A = this chain, B = another copy of it.
Amino acid sequence: MAERVTLVTLAAELGVSRQTISNVLNAPSRVKEETRVRVVEAIARSGYRPNSAARQLRNRTSMNLGMRLRPAASDGVNGAVLDGFLHGLTEAAQDRGYRLTLFCADTDEQEIHRYEELLSVADLDGFVLTSTNRDDQRTVWLTEHEVPFVTFGRPWNTAGKPVLSQHSWVDVDGRSGVREATEHLLAQGHQQIAFLGWPAGSGVGDDRWMGWVEAMTAAGIPDGWSALRCAGDDSVPAGSTGAAELLGRGATSFICASDSLALGASAYLWQSHHPDAAASVIGFDNTPVAAAVGVSSISQLVRAAAREVIRLMLRQLQEPGGRPEPVLLAPKLELRDLQRFTQ
């Protein structure tokens, strides 16, 4: 077994003191250029790496960020979104020298307990929250305890509208994504464009819905289009049911609030021999399934979002009192040709 290299052993070998090496790493300006170079070379040669436990003990900082891993959504189609986000987050954190620690919790309340535990036991430096509720208690707790955090998702208040943020967040502008998708269908000549969403009241769902309303209004589509809207739960069957109904009301194309809905709609339309309508379905989240089946979808660009989250987190860690920053990313419309398996 190779001997462990520490500040002390390396210092002895070089004939300098611990602190000099420490300074080379943490405050290079304090050290003469010549020694600095000599030390840097020695570090590279010896493979020395500062021990994080010792640093953590001394600095109360662990270079570790925490994130709750949520159980796969009931439906599961959309679970893949957080999967991509997690990957991007790990990567971005790693690039900056941070590590990611996962934990589980069944409820938000339990999540807060885990914060407390992880802070005192493992000195986590901050947390990333993934799905923000209305009047989220977690953000209240974290703010009160002055723990750095960034949310992926806007804070929505009781009225279901985004509130002026007390904290940094990153989100994807669903409204503009849906608007753009609607405009795309309009440009293709569609007029009877339906919106397949969720019951009014959810911040995210209403936001996406508004994108459709805006585009349709702006296009000056004659009256009646606002009835081309259907709300149900977030599932494949709900997509089929909704599509059936909207088709009956004359819809020729469909914007859906999720890929689950889009998948159901597309399958129904195809099977009921409306191939053109089936090809004019646009989903949301750009899940792998939509890609595999060839359904167009609005992509959240989760990798970019993850990178932004880490950027905001580091800003907070560097200047604790800083002003919170909101980041709203534009999603990207992924257009595809529906797979037609019959020749």
Contacts and interface: CB of A to CB of B under 8 A. Distances in A.
A102 B93 CA distance: 10
Nearest to A82: B83
Contacts of A56: 53, 56
A270 B149 CA distance: 48
Nearest to A104: B91
Given A53-B123, A292-B236, A268 B341 contact: yes
Contacts of A319: none
A128 to B, nearest CB: 12
A57 B62 contact: no
A339 B267 contact: yes
A94 B83 contact: no
A30 interface: no
A274 to B, nearest CB: 11
A237 B53 contact: no
A77 B341 contact: no
B90 A102 contact: yes
Interface centre among A244, A287, A292, A339 (most CB of B within 10 A): A292
A252 to B, nearest CB: 18
Interface residues of A, number: 61
A103 B62 CA distance: 16
Contact of A103 (B90, B237, B244, B288): B90
A84 interface: yes
Binding site of A, secondary structure by majority: helix, strand, loop or mixed? helix
A306 to B, nearest CB: 12
Nearest to A268: B341
Contacts of A90: 69, 102-104
Contact of A51 (B121, B292, B293): B121
Contacts of A271: 270-271, 340-342
A267 B341 contact: yes
Contact of A101 (B99, B121, B342): B99
Interface string A4-42: 100000000000000000000000000000000000000
A104 B98 CA distance: 12
A102 B64 CA distance: 11
A64 B100 CA distance: 11
A102 B83 CA distance: 13
Nearest to A68: B90
A258 B84 CA distance: 21
Interface of A: 4, 47, 49-54, 56-57, 62, 64, 69, 71-72, 75-77, 79-80, 83-84, 86-87, 90-91, 94, 99-104, 117, 120-123, 235-237, 240, 244, 260, 263-264, 267-268, 270-272, 287-289, 291-293, 339-342
**Nearest 7 A-B pairs (CB), nearest first?**
A76-B288, A53-B56, A268-B341, A53-B57, A236-B292, A240-B341, A289-B289
10 contacts: A53-B56, A53-B57, A53-B122, A56-B56, A57-B57, A64-B101, A79-B80, A86-B102, A236-B339, A267-B339
Given A72-B80, A76-B287, A76-B292, 10 more contacts: A47-B120, A53-B53, A53-B56, A64-B101, A71-B87, A72-B84, A75-B292, A237-B339, A270-B271, A271-B342
